[in-house]
Structure 1
Amino acid sequence: MFIFFTSCKDSNHTNNPIQISKAEKDTVSLYGPTGMVRNIRQDKKGNILIAAFKGVFRYDGKTFTNLTSKIKSPTFWDVLEDRKGNLWFASKDSGVYYYNKKGFQHFTIRNGLASNFVGSIYEDRAGNIWFATGGGASRYDGKSFRNFTTKDGLSSNAVTSIMEDKTGKLWFGTREEPCYYDGKKFTVFKKINGKPFYNVWSIIEDKKGNIWFGGSILKDRKGERGDTLVLEFGLWRYDGIDYTKVSNKGTSMILQDKNGDIWTTGALKVNGNWVFSRYDEESLYDKNPNVTEIFAQKGLGMLCGILEAKDGSIWFGSMNGVYRYNGKTLTDF
């Protein structure tokens, strides 16, 4: 491990899933995954779960175990341990894998999933498992899938993230505008000065009940085909009535820690540096909150998912693997 130092603080389907194999002995290493790490979670035992393009890994504090070494060639984007202790793996091109002590099961569009491109997994308070897919939002109740698309009022079928707030509304980030679902209908976020939001990758609810999301404003389309987009990056806060632009920094992933600080990853501008930042809780609602850039990756070195571990350390993914920050030291695994 290399150590860096910083001075900063409706459609229903009931098809049975494909049975793959019984769990076999997994590949264990002293080193973390190389290449892209999209998302990071923690299981009930405190192990760190890492969804990387080259596999889903479990870190027990000493070694990294590839939990998916027996699965052929999918590219993984997310991992989730549900309340029953079962694991779910989202893939870019092969749907969803379900893992328990007996082995793997595989869900695809053949079983009712909206798309085989699954970027994020979420478990709601009722125990339903939601999947943010390239073809809409899929809800799995343990028996069958129900898919929500633009036909139901979803703002875009390219869903990036899902979050349930304290009132029970489900929020969806999409490649276009964000929206929420109250159990009956979808409400799409209004435009800012006549310009729509665009490409929202992450949505959270803070301790005060405000909704935070990283998203661009689509200011204009240029070129003969209108495929050159003019975007205004930003981190936004929504209090139920008005939007506040907290920062001009591009924001892809957001987390609020136990102390109330907001952590983000995102690009400063198109083809610019990607930055891992912290917004201090004391000034979070000021006009100009205090923000500290913890780590920067030059060029197209994308930074991705964020996790606060039980010990208070902050983990984040990158194009080059996974990092852990303990408030003083940044560890590259």
Structure 2
Amino acid sequence: MKIKYYQYIFSLFCTFLIATTISCNNQNRSNKAENKSEIGATRLKYTTGIRSILEDSKGNIWFGSYNEGVCLLRNGKLQYFTIENGLSHNQVRNIYEDKNGVIWFECGKGLSIYDGQKMVKYTETNYNSKNEWKLNDNDLWFKGDAIEAYNKIEGNPGVYQYDGKELSYRALPVKTKPGQENHYSISTNFVRSKNGTLWFGTFGAVIGYNDSDFKIIDDAFLELNDQTGHLHARSIMADSKGNLWIGNNGIGVLKYDGKKVVNFTKQQKLKKEETKGNSLEKVFSIGEDKLGNIWFGTAGSGVWRYDGKSVQNFTKEDGVESNHIWTIYKSKKGELWLGGASPSGVYRFNGVSFERKF
């Protein structure tokens, strides 16, 4: 009898042990699935690249893609918008917020706005004051309406100015030559320098306006030619010290202090023939972190940091999986984010290296 009793107790113990093990395994799988779901909820589905980023006044984060629309991250959930939901075009180059909290999307073609409830195309435009330039602190500025060059109504390379009430077209003080209609198309976001000058980056020139005069930095100003390589601006940034940085697709980074222009890439000996590897010649994004370091995002050579003394390169080994950095963004917490392509994603700098954030 005692033997049967002990056998019965042992059988109950084994049954309890098996049940506990199965329960724990199921719970672990459930936890892993839940964690995976949480991670997936904030992982962008875009594959063509992150072209623009904005953290708005309500704490929402917007991600503009190269050719797949825009995504809103709100309360931990992702919401996607395309031309089917009110976008004028699926390429979202820049995102801005006006003084009333309306979000503006500068698309490959046209503009769209989001008022907190719906996305709509913005089409009300004044074309009757093309040469009436006047700066205001809260103005927003946008590229021309067409994907390339300018349309018939615009009639000349220019930009759109939104003063809080009206969107008006302003003609730039340049003229195109036959076959070069895209030469002065806006290729960057607009920036304001420390002295109040407003800067626009076009493919063939960087143009500044200080509310009275224009400053044009072009091939003629820089004394560039076929042998030296031509200006091909893809990014501009005005730093906290008053310098204007110009990133080019080909001739590297230019630094303008208000008096003279220096080829930073050449100065730092970071041309391809000098580095024998990654170079600082194709620069598509520039940013400044909270410590005053200047960052350069490239096409094909990772991201670079300049601390005022030396330049350091961060690549795939440092967590920068994308080989084309479209945008460099500083969050409201002061974090540095990179918007990349191939593979697409947003990467955060943790002080040492980069890690995928969205």
**Structure-1 separation of matches of 2:346 and 2:138:** 30
- Deviation string, structure 1 residues 232-282 (Cα, Å, up to 9, x no partner): 421111111111222241211100111011112113xxxxx242222224x
Q: Give, in whole Å, the separation in 2 of the partners of 1:180 and 1:31.
A: 38
Q: How does 1:137-216 map to 2 (within 5 A)?
A: 137-150=159-172, 152-153=173-174, 156-161=183-188, 162-189=190-217, 190-195=220-225, 197-215=230-248
Given the alignment of the two structures, is residue 266 of structure 1 paired with residue 298 of structure 2, yes or no? Answer: yes
Does the 8 A contact of 1:47 with 1:58 survive in 2? Answer: yes
**Equivalent residues in 2 for 1:93-108, closer than 5 Å:** 93=109, 95-101=110-116, 103-108=118-123
1:64 is the counterpart of 2:64: no
What's the offset of the Cα at 1:73?
Answer: 7.6
Provide the residue aligned with 2:355 in structure 1. 330
8 Å CA contact 2:139, 2:163 repeated in 1 = yes
CA distance in structure 2 between the aligned counterparts of 1:101 and 1:275, rounded to whole angstroms = 36
Aligned length: 266
Equivalent residue for 1:238? 256
Instruction: Indicate whether 1:81 and 2:114 are aligned.
Output: no
Provide Cα deviations, 1:115-169, integer angstroms capped at 9, x if missing partner: xxxxxxxxx752222102343211122343332334x348853012311222221
- Aligned residues with identical type, % of pairs: 24
Moved over 6 A (4+): none
SS in structure 2 of the partner of residue 178 of structure 1: strand
Q: Which amino acid aligns with 1:127?
A: N
| Residue of structure 2 equivalent to 1:280 | 307
User: Which residue of structure 2 lines up, in the alignment, with residue 223 of structure 1?
Assistant: none
Residue 41 of structure 1 aligns with an amino acid whose one-letter code is L
- Judging changes above 3 Å, is the alpha-carbon distance between structure 1 residues 101 and 313 closer, same or farther for their aligned structure 2 residues? closer
Please report the TM-score for the alignment, with normalisation by the length of structure 2. 0.65
Unaligned runs of 5+ in 1: 1-27, 115-123, 217-231, 268-272, 284-288
**In structure 1, what is the equivalent of residue 106 of structure 2?**
90
Q: Distance in 1 between matches of 2:88 and 2:160?
A: 23
Partner of 1:23: none
User: Given that residues 80 and 87 in structure 1 are in contact (C-alpha distance below 8 angstroms), is that contact kept between their aligned partners in structure 2?
Assistant: yes
RMSD, matched Cα:
2.9
Residues 100-126 of structure 1, C-alpha deviation per residue, up to 9 Å, x if partnerless? 135334224x73589xxxxxxxxx752
Match of 2:283 in 1: 251
Note the residue ranges of structure 2 that are not aligned, 5 or more in a row: 1-39, 129-134, 151-157, 177-182, 266-270, 272-279
- Indicate the structure with greater strand content: 1
Q: State how far apart, in whole Å, the 2-side matches of 1:112 and 1:85 are.
A: 22
Quote the Cα distance in structure 1 between the aligned partners of 2:127 and 2:302: 34
Q: Is the Cα contact below 8 Å between 1:278 and 1:294 reproduced in 2? A: no
Q: TM-score, normalised by structure 1?
A: 0.70
Give the AA of the match of 2:186: V
Distance 1:290 1:302 in 2: 19
Match of residue 312, structure 1, among 328, 334, 356: 334
Cα displacement (A) at 1:197: 4.7
Compare relative contact order (CA 8 Å, sep 6+) and give the higher one, 1 or 2: 1
- Distance in 2 (CA, whole Å) between partners of 1:54 and 1:148 is 29
Offset at 1:45? 3.4
Change in 2 beyond 3 A, CA 1:194/1:233: closer
User: Given the superposition, is the C-alpha separation of residues 293 and 182 from structure 1 closer, same or farther in structure 2, using an over 3 Å criterion?
Assistant: same
Q: Distance in 1 between matches of 2:232 and 2:127?
A: 22
SS class of match (2:347): strand
In terms of fraction of residues, the more helix-rich structure is 2
Deviations 1:214-242 (A, max 9, x none): 125xxxxxxxxxxxxxxx42111111111
